[in-house]
Structure 1
C-alpha cells in the first residue's frame, strides 16, 4: 500500500468518513473512497495492510511489531491507529500513525492494555468499547464448553479492562450490530446473539439471548455483519484436521429478517444462503472474514491452505466452486478488517 503522508491523511480525515465492515457504520458515500484491508497473523505478529481499491493491482505494506502472534485486528481511521489482540502478550496493542510508515518499518505500541487474556481471538469495536473473544477453556473441563468476552474501554493511551463475561459455549468470531453482539459458537454450526451486550457491566456468566443453527456449515469460525446491506458472512473450517481444501463461506443477505424468523434453537436453511466451497477456492481453514458491501467482495483470512493466504471473492452469484480474484500469501493469517476512507 502506498504511503500516506500527513497532508494526504489529514485531507482524507477531513473530507471522508470511514465505512468499516467488520464493525460497519452508516456511511452512504462509499463509491469514491479507497479501500484497505488490514490483516494479522499467528506466524510473526506483524501487521499487513493492503490497498484493495482495485483488485487487479493490490499492493501491501507490512509493519513490524514486537508481538510474535496476533489475532483480531481493527483500524481506527480517525486517529490512524491499528489495534490487534496479541496472542504473545495476551493484551490489546494499538499502533499509532500507522499510515505514515513505509513497508518494513518497525512500529511501537502507542496504546497499551493490561495482560488479562489467555487465548484472544476476534476483536469487535463499538465506540470506545473493545471486546475480545477468548476461546480458552475457563473451568478446565473440556466436557463443559465455555469462553470469555473481555470488555475494554479505550481512554487516551490505555485500554482498561471494564469487565469479563463468561459464556456457556466456546468462542471465536464476534461482531457488533448496533448494541447487539453476534458470536460464533465454536466447534458447532451455530450462531448466537447477545442483545444489548454492553449493558452487562459487571463480571458475570451470561447466556446468549438466542442461538440458531446455520445449515450447511460443519464448524464455523469467522463472521462479519454489514448493517448497510444487511449481510452476514460466516466461514466454515469444516474438519480441523483438514487445513487445505474442505473450507467454505456462507453469504446470507436480508439477514436480520431471516435470523428473526428462525426460532431459538431452530435452523436457518441452506436455501436461504449462498455457499462458496470447492477445490478451486483454496479454502481449507478460513478463520476470519470481511465484506465490502459496495463491490460485494468477500475477503478471507485463510490460515491453512498453502501455509496461509489472504483471499478475495466477488461475482459470487449463486456460489459454488469459485476461484479467488485475489490470492496473496500470508503465513498463518488470522484476522481481517476492511476500511474505506
Structure 2
C-alpha cells in the first residue's frame, strides 16, 4: 500500500478531536447516540431538551458497533457487523423532528474489508475500525483507517496487532486501545504517520484490578481516562468503571509493562451500579456525566453516572432499557 501523504488541510481535520464537547461550555445541544447488536436500530437523545426524548431509527444493519455522530453534517456513522462495512446515515435530527422511524444509508465503505468490528475512533474525516479476531477474518486482529469524503469511505491504511482488540480512542496524533481478555491499556504514538503493517505498541501498561477491559474514552479537557471492566462475560454483577484522573501524568510516570495502581484510580463496582458487561463508555466534561452501554443487565441498558469523587458502589442517576446496546457516543455543541 502506498504511504499516506498528509496535506495541511488534512492535518487540520485530523487534529480536530471527536471530543469537541470539551471546548464548548455554552452548547445548544448535547446529543447522545447509541447502537445495538440485536434491534437493527440507532437512537438519538438531545440531553439538554427540557424533557429529553429518546428516538429510535431503523437502519440497514441488525448488528452495529462503534457509533459516532457528526453535528456539522448531522450524520451518524456505524461499523456494520451485518454488512461488514462503515455506514453513514444523514439527516438524523431532521428525521427526529419529522417523526421518521427509519434512516437510509448515505455513504458506505466497500463491503468485506473488515469483519467482526468492535469499535471505531473518529477524528475529523478519519475513521479507525477495530477488527477482533474471528474465523471469518483468519483470526487476525487489525486496525483499518478510512478517509471519509462526500462519496464514501476510502481505506488508506491497515495495521495488524499482536493482541485482541475492542475499544479504541484517538487523542490528537495518538491512538489508545484496550487489549481484550486482559486489563491492559496500549498506546500507539503518532499513529497516523506509521506505515501499514504489524504495529508495535509505544507503551503497554496494566490497570491494577481490571479483569477484562472493553470500553475506553479520554477527555483532554479534564485529563481523565475512563475504562470499563466486563470481568466475567456471564456475570451480570461483576462489571465496573475505572476512572484515572491526571491521566497524562500517571501514564507518563508508569513504565512500559508497568502497572497503574489502584491508588491512582477511582472505581465504581458493586450490585448498586448495575454494571455487568459495560461494553462502551462516553463522557461529557461539562456536566461530568459518564454514559455507559451496559449489554447484559435487562438485555441492554444505557446508564448515566455522576462523576465520583471516591471509589464506591454507586447507583446510576439514570437507567433506561435499550435492547442489545453495544456502543455509545456523546457530543456537545
* Shared fold, TM over 0.5: yes
Tell me what 1:179 maps to: 173
In structure 2, the residue corresponding to 1:173 is in which secondary structure?
strand
Change over 3 Å in CA distance of 1:100–1:139 after alignment to 2: closer
Give distance in 1, aligned partners of 2:22 and 2:239: 32
Tell me what 1:269 maps to: 261
1:22–1:290 CA contact under 8 A, matched in 2 = no
2:166–2:177 CA contact under 8 A, matched in 1 = yes
Tell me what 2:4 maps to: none
2:125 to 113, 123, 128: 128
Tell me what 2:20 maps to: 25
Tell me what 1:190 maps to: 184
2:270–2:314 CA contact under 8 A, matched in 1 = yes
Tell me what 1:11 maps to: none
Structure 1 residue 80 and structure 2 residue 74: aligned?
Answer: yes
Q: CA RMSD in A?
A: 2.0
2:290–2:307 CA contact under 8 A, matched in 1 = no
Question: In the TM superposition, what whole-angstrom CA distance separates every residue of 1:212-252 from its partner, at most 9, and x where no partner exists?
Answer: 0001211000000111111100000001221x111000111
Larger mean Cα displacement after TM superposition, 329-338 or 104-113: 104-113
Count of aligned positions: 315
Give distance in 2, aligned partners of 1:227 and 1:162: 27
Q: CA deviation at 1:140?
A: 8.1
Alignment of structure 1 residues 76-155 onto 2, 5 Å: 76-102=70-96, 103-115=99-111, 116-137=113-134, 147-155=141-149
Give distance in 2, aligned partners of 1:38 and 1:118: 23
Alignment of structure 1 residues 198-209 onto 2, 5 Å: 198-202=192-196, 204-209=197-202
1:35 to 27, 30, 36: 30
Tell me what 1:62 maps to: 56
In structure 2, the residue corresponding to 1:82 is in which secondary structure?
strand
Structure 1 residue 223 and structure 2 residue 216: aligned?
Answer: yes
Give distance in 1, aligned partners of 2:206 and 2:138: 24
Structure 1 residue 44 and structure 2 residue 36: aligned?
Answer: no
Question: In the TM superposition, what whole-angstrom CA distance separates every residue of 1:131-174 from its partner, at most 9, and x where no partner exists?
Answer: 010112489887xxx51001111111201111210000000000
Larger mean Cα displacement after TM superposition, 168-177 or 57-66: 57-66
Q: CA deviation at 1:32?
A: 4.2
Structure 1 residue 238 and structure 2 residue 231: aligned?
Answer: yes
Question: In the TM superposition, what whole-angstrom CA distance separates every residue of 1:282-319 from its partner, at most 9, and x where no partner exists?
Answer: 11000000001111111000000110000000052213
Structure 1 residue 319 and structure 2 residue 315: aligned?
Answer: no
Tell me what 1:210 maps to: 203
Q: CA deviation at 1:47?
A: 0.7
Give distance in 1, aligned partners of 2:316 and 2:175: 29
In structure 1, the residue corresponding to 2:148 is in which secondary structure?
strand
Q: CA deviation at 1:121?
A: 1.0
Change over 3 Å in CA distance of 1:106–1:139 after alignment to 2: closer
- Give 5+ residue unaligned stretches, structure 2: 1-15
- Give 5+ residue unaligned stretches, structure 1: 1-20
Give distance in 2, aligned partners of 1:265 and 1:27: 30
Give distance in 2, aligned partners of 1:45 and 1:22: 28
2:243 to 224, 241, 251: 251
Give distance in 2, aligned partners of 1:40 and 1:201: 32
In structure 1, the residue corresponding to 2:316 is in which secondary structure?
coil
Structure 1 residue 160 and structure 2 residue 154: aligned?
Answer: yes
Tell me what 2:11 maps to: none
Give distance in 2, aligned partners of 1:201 and 1:61: 41
Question: In the TM superposition, what whole-angstrom CA distance separates every residue of 1:29-59 from its partner, at most 9, and x where no partner exists?
Answer: 32444211110010123111122237x9432
